Amino acid sequence: MKLLKLVGVMALITSGTVSAESTAPNASVDAHFDTNPVITLGPRPAFLVNDMDEGPLKEKLKACIGMPMRASDFSIGHRGASLMFPEHTRESYIAAAQMGAGIVECDVTFTKDKALVCRHSQNDLHMTTDILAHPELAAKCTVPFTPAVPSKGKKANVECRTSDLTLKEFKQLKGKMDGANPMATTVEAYMKGTPGWRTDLYASRGTLMTHAESIELLKSLGVKMTPELKVPKVSMPFDGFSQADYAQKMIDEYKAAGVSAENVFPQSFNLDDVTYWIENEPTFGEQAVYLDARVYKQRNWKSSLKEMKALSEKGVKYISPPQFALLSLNKAGDIVASDYAEHAKQADINVISWTLERSGSLANGGGWYYQSVKDAINNDGDVLTVLDVLANDVGVVGVFSDWPATTTFYANCVGL
């Protein structure tokens, strides 16, 4: 994977952004968003740099504040720019491209009529859309809303799947920030669950997208694409739709859109999906990404060079675990590459990390994504220290981020 690229023709203007006219000659404009992105990072990178512990890395990054920025394949928009925009929406994808993400993710699942759509999970509509505000659609949910009973400590219960709706019904929904109030006694209160470290400021528009629509949008934005084939929550085959059909249909939509395989990084937590693409769609399988959940789903699992080489022998060239699997602390308490990272390097497998900027404040150790190095994490600026170790010691080729401005800034500053 090339670590740096400029979307379209490289032309910088003195304000430190990329000329809109120069980046994607076939771009379109809608009433609210220019789909021909100008690279603009906002104040967060400078905020993070200024929050770092003193040292050479801070001085190096500080010198880059305000410099012209180019889009970078190192910077991957996780569900778009989902820190502040409703995930997997048109608005979130455009924001990610405007922050210089060279690659943007659509998580792929399917509706009742087997249309492929962009959602993080087949059963998250009650968390990420306004389905509960549509009584006629909410009534179709696998588990209709049942209010919480706070006096008994009983949480609200609801589960709404994309497979509960036809595509026409799905398109009636609007994306919202991921979250819910589990102790809510009303639908309205349940829907108001956005974590405090996110915002609803940009949630007034949340245009849901089919997979095919996301392809056309991302083409117009001049970015590469990394679709994740989500694990179905329904039994497969679903009304005759097999897992192989599902994996093939996702690739077919790129072929129908005329997207070159070199611009697509298909992902799955299911190794069988990855090997299916390697065997049946070898040009797309060349960049297929195995999302590795073994590190947290299998108790006492430990990485080994033997297992990593076995993946390589199956044709797996990209692997992507959560970032804590790639990091460790040495005896001095410094963040370093983990055994897992070293094994991947020795097996000649490219590594992609997830997910940066998905933890809120890092003042108390950073939570789940930082669990292997929590003792070294105590301020928000530490996100850049982690990023530096991932890039230099681990040697990742890309990093998923909920706010790609951070990864774009780092990639440009260090000249990856």
pLDDT tens digits, one per residue of 326-336: 999 999 999 99
pLDDT in tens, 60-89: 999 999 999 999 999 999 999 999 999 999
Give the chain's length: 416
In this prediction, residue 35 has a pLDDT band, given cuts at 50, 70 and 90, of low
In a domain, 248, yes or no: yes
Residue 36 pLDDT greater than 80, yes or no: no
Q: Which domain holds residue 187?
A: 123-191
In this prediction, residue 283 has a pLDDT band, given cuts at 50, 70 and 90, of very high
In sequence order, what are the residues at sequence separation of 6 or more whose Cβ sits closer than 8 angstroms to the Cβ of residue 386? 323, 327, 335, 356, 370, 373, 377
Q: Check if the beta carbon of residue 210 is closer than 8 Å to that of residue 167.
A: yes
In a domain, 11, yes or no: no
In a domain, 306, yes or no: yes
Among 8-22, 269-283, 357-371, the minimum mean pLDDT is found in 8-22
Residue 12 pLDDT greater than 80, yes or no: no
Q: Does residue 251 sit in the same domain as residue 365?
A: yes
Q: Does residue 251 sit in the same domain as residue 316?
A: yes
Indicate the pTM of the whole model: 0.92
More confident residue, 20 or 362: 362
Average pLDDT of span 23-37: 42
Q: Helix crossing, 243-256 with 271-280: angle to 10°?
A: 50
pLDDT in tens, 178-196: 999 999 999 999 999 999 9
Q: Does residue 232 sit in the same domain as residue 358?
A: yes
Q: Does residue 215 sit in the same domain as residue 350?
A: yes
User: Pairing between strand 116-118 and 107-110?
Assistant: antiparallel
Look up the CATH number of the domain holding residue 395.
3.20.20.190
pLDDT (0 to 100) of residue 38: 80
